[in-house]
A and B are shown apart, each in its own frame.
Chain A
Amino acid sequence: QQKVQQSPESLIVPEGGMASLNCTSSDRNVDYFWWYRQHSGKSPKMLMSIFSNGEKEEGRFTVHLNKASLHTSLHIRDSQPSDSALYLCAASNAGAKLTFGGGTRLTVRP
């Protein structure tokens, strides 16, 4: 049973639309959340990280974190076809263990 659950498994949005991805950890020892993006045939690359309650924005990407529920979400506004990729959420704890979820496959239709 994965300790990091992502939803939905797949998501299709039109170009220019908003994509919203969710992630929850069942491990109460985690204290940092990460979002990685993996284009087809490539390695994952970090998009954003968050460790405090609230919201963090970088360009078209916004991450929210609710520490009480260990839930984070990633929102991509004005989605572009180049945003089509596998989005991976990960959670880390004090011991440097980094656990990933099953991913959300995002497709942005032109």
Chain B
Amino acid sequence: GGIITQTPKFLIGQEGQKLTLKCQQNFNHDTMYWYRQDSGKGLRLIYYSITENDLQKGDLSEGYDASREKKSSFSLTVTSAQKNEMAVFLCASSMGRNTEVFFGKGTRLTVV
């Protein structure tokens, strides 16, 4: 088995601040994802990456940047934090198309 580690677990930022969330996986998976989950709601895809150096926009990419520095890591930047985007950000990975996706434990973002 493997594990997906997200850091930090809790992130508090000021409105307008640029914030970075990090994700590492040791599954040796090719594909990685970033999702946002508002309280009690479903998951919305922000960015995904099919392989190292690849980047694909999801349905909620505006206001975010992402970077796939190497196969095992995928980071997400909130370019200008807003109070209405307080949520849990979930990183996930899979071997590729139509294979099971595994999730990390999430980073909870609070904007003050």
Interface residue ranges, A against B (CB under 8 Å): 2-3, 6, 31-32, 34, 43-46, 49, 51, 86, 88, 90, 92-103, 105
Are A88 and B97 closer than 8 Å at their CB atoms?
no
> Which are the 5 A-B pairs with shortest beta-carbon distances?
A102-B42, A43-B103, A100-B43, A96-B97, A103-B42
Q: Closest CB-CB distance, A76 to chain B, in whole Å?
A: 19
Q: Does B8 contact A (CB under 8 A)?
A: no
Are B40 and A99 closer than 8 Å at their CB atoms?
no
Are B59 and A99 closer than 8 Å at their CB atoms?
yes
Q: Does B31 contact A (CB under 8 A)?
A: yes
Interface residue ranges, B against A (CB under 8 Å): 31, 33, 35, 40-45, 48, 50, 56, 58-59, 90, 92, 94, 96-98, 100-101, 103-106
Q: Closest CB-CB distance, B50 to chain A, in whole Å?
A: 5
Are A86 and B48 closer than 8 Å at their CB atoms?
no
Are A46 and B101 closer than 8 Å at their CB atoms?
yes
Are A100 and B97 closer than 8 Å at their CB atoms?
no
Residues of A contacting B: mostly: strand
Between A and B, 7 residue pairs with Cβ closer than 8 Å are: A34-B100, A88-B42, A88-B43, A96-B94, A97-B45, A100-B43, A100-B45
Q: Which residue of B lies closest to A4 (CB)?
A: B42
Task: Name 7 extra pairs, CB < 8 A, besides A96-B98, A97-B45.
Answer: A3-B59, A32-B98, A34-B101, A43-B105, A44-B103, A99-B59, A102-B42
Contact of A96 among B59, B96, B104, B106 (CB under 8 A): B96
Please name all residues of chain A whose beta carbon is closer than 8 Å to the beta carbon of B31 when the two chains form the complex: 96
Are A97 and B58 closer than 8 Å at their CB atoms?
yes
Q: How far is the CA of A103 from the CA of B80 in the complex (A)?
A: 28
Q: How far is the CA of A46 from the CA of B104 in the complex (A)?
A: 13
Please name all residues of chain B whose beta carbon is closer than 8 Å to the beta carbon of A92 when the two chains form the complex: 97-98
Please name all residues of chain A whose beta carbon is closer than 8 Å to the beta carbon of B104 when the two chains form the complex: 43
Are A96 and B50 closer than 8 Å at their CB atoms?
yes
Q: Closest CB-CB distance, A14 to chain B, in whole Å?
A: 23
